[in-house]
Structure 1
């Protein structure tokens, strides 16, 4: 296995250049993971709006009942009663809604009048305006229902019935999936950015080795040795596959530490499988480039151009939904696009039905198809060069 050993000797000589991409990726991935920490409490919390309540009607149990109902759901603030006080309170955001009960309000409620209105001053088109409007409408509509149904009903009974109805609530439980979008957005971003570094590392490593073995003197020496061409090619293939697997293991190591619980879920396993298939495609691209470049400077340029170019048009740095139709159409002809597309679908996957999983498998198969097709083209080029030499 002399060739296999020589393969990794060349990799060790280029380890400094390769480690730059690995270290930068790992550091960036850790920083990215820390910036995407999930909030500790995702439960809904009701917030109370500051309002003012002004009564220009007579003191009555109906008005008191409305005020008490609003006080449960809002904060009633005393801001004065003059026009200037009200305007200042709204302007300085001391309150967001001012409820003014007009004269004759109680009588209209009891007589079931069609024109029961409440004056209001608020910030226009605000969420608080809609919220308070709904609260007041619930109270008035409930009161109207009872006055229509029961006729001559006392204020005490009316307020009692309204209070009992409006106090009724339903318990709501919000279930959050452990593999929901929020909890795995950091992991998705991690594996998206892995595409850039993986391309660069594999192209640089594979090209460096293949350039070394394509050296004219070394090639003539190998041909004149007892080493058969089949053994030479087998050891080179084995070396490339071993190098790709080692690079993949190093690249995913940080994710297994940062997202240890999630990575052993079904979503995490799909991320791993998708990244491994992409590694095979990147290895094929690296082999193809090794048949084209002739110098080390060209090797570095090719690694940067291919890795950055594929990443920019495929959604690594800019989400795919923000890319133009022309860019997407071009990006579909490289494996990075389908790899990112699968990652996006995996990140939001909750129910593992055939309908949900099939698009992910489809994208993975396309990436694998790219790997096979590019490898076939590379082998044809290598065979033609061998015959011509």
Structure 2
């Protein structure tokens, strides 16, 4: 346990650096989580369009159309129907739509012609005009139905206006699934960024602690002790695991205070937490393995950025896995982050994926195989260094 105690004595000197990394990346995680949560939320809102009418027919039918549209949208009147003035107002976005009712409009309605009766001009850089067109088309469809069964046009105009008023009065009910696993839960995005945050935090904050054990004087003193290489490596590894668990718990607790877990069932949160813990073991063993090569601090920072950002882009942290090319997906399978993200996808329901217990356990097993491989390399490196020191 000597190396275990020494590990935390060294860690005390680097505690400030560790907390700086944790706080920075934790803020980054929460911000990215809320950005993704907000971008996946759909919202329906019917907006009023500013429009004007050039009425060349000036009849009861043309006035009825204008009155109906004015009940849904904002009618802007221009004296004299000055075309240049209307164009100027459209350019300055004072109005978005100009409806022209040609002469003979009412006569065409009486003859049963309901197509291409009016013309329009609208801003092409706004969707408001297309929304307005839908209201005009709906009005003519209702009018055509009543005109086919009514004796007079006035009666058809009245009935069409009444039915469209009832349709517009109906409220649109938005159905949400905030308490269910629907692929839009903050916890899913929160755990998704674990793949990047854990690599970055642990490699940047824990590697300097591990590198201290490779200091020539300290390494020589430990080599002269009664400790066997395996016990030495085990003590350092145990200290790294405990240190990493503390960092992991801090992030999880912060996520709880940030309200990241309130939308998913407790069972889903438990499975996500278990998946992140297995991935934590992988990152700890990988950090131990990398630190065994006695690299400089600058080289470690470079490796942390390359591995953290590289695996995040390839494995589906920043770019969803279902959007990645097939060749990229094949390569990403050689990274443990891919299997962590696969589990997170099926738990969070991203892209409509369903939870499969067998696949979940398989992905955990693959991550543990990565951890076993890294741990084997770590112990082999310590044994070889001990042998070289004795020689």
TM-score range, shorter-chain basis? 0.7 to 0.9
Compare 230-239 and 277-286 and name the one that shifted more. 230-239
Q: Are 1:312 and 2:313 an aligned pair?
A: no
- What is the alpha-carbon root mean square deviation over aligned residues? 3.9
Q: How far does the alpha carbon of each residue in 1:367-387 deviate from its partner, in whole angstroms, 9 at most, with x for none? A: 332112211232334344555
Q: How far does the alpha carbon of each residue in 1:340-361 deviate from its partner, in whole angstroms, 9 at most, with x for none? A: 5655665554978435x77666
- Correspondence for 1:248: 248
Q: Are 1:203 and 2:207 an aligned pair?
A: yes
Helix, strand or coil for the counterpart of 1:181? coil
Distance 2:217 2:371 in 1: 23
Distance 2:253 2:111 in 1: 75
Distance 1:328 1:250 in 2: 32
Which stretches in structure 2 are left out of the alignment for 5+ residues?
A: none
Give aligned pairs, total. Answer: 376
Distance 1:27 1:50 in 2: 42
Which stretches in structure 1 are left out of the alignment for 5+ residues?
A: none
Compare 87-96 and 192-201 and name the one that shifted more. 192-201
Contact conserved, 1:49 with 1:75, CA < 8 A, in 2?
yes
Contact conserved, 1:314 with 1:331, CA < 8 A, in 2?
yes
Cα distance change on mapping 1:256 and 1:208 into 2, 3 Å: farther
- Correspondence for 1:133: 133
Distance 1:332 1:351 in 2: 21
Distance 1:195 1:345 in 2: 22
Distance 2:301 2:290 in 1: 12
| TM-score, structure 1 as length reference | 0.79
Q: How far does the alpha carbon of each residue in 1:233-286 deviate from its partner, in whole angstroms, 9 at most, with x for none? A: 654443332222223223433222223643874554444333322221111112
State the Cα distance separating 1:219 from its structure 2 match: 1.8
Match of 1:155 among 149, 153, 156: 153
Q: Are 1:71 and 2:70 an aligned pair?
A: yes
Q: How does 1:108-127 map to 2 (within 5 A)?
A: 108-113=108-113, 117-124=117-124, 126-127=126-127
Q: How far does the alpha carbon of each residue in 1:153-212 deviate from its partner, in whole angstroms, 9 at most, with x for none? A: 213321232124323435432123336537458735753434311232333333434658
Contact conserved, 1:196 with 1:316, CA < 8 A, in 2?
no
State the Cα distance separating 1:105 from its structure 2 match: 1.1
- Correspondence for 1:187: 190
| TM-score, structure 2 as length reference | 0.78
Distance 1:114 1:374 in 2: 75
- Correspondence for 2:375: 375
Contact conserved, 2:210 with 2:288, CA < 8 A, in 1?
yes
Contact conserved, 2:285 with 2:375, CA < 8 A, in 1?
yes
- Correspondence for 2:144: 144
- Correspondence for 2:96: 96
- Correspondence for 1:277: 278
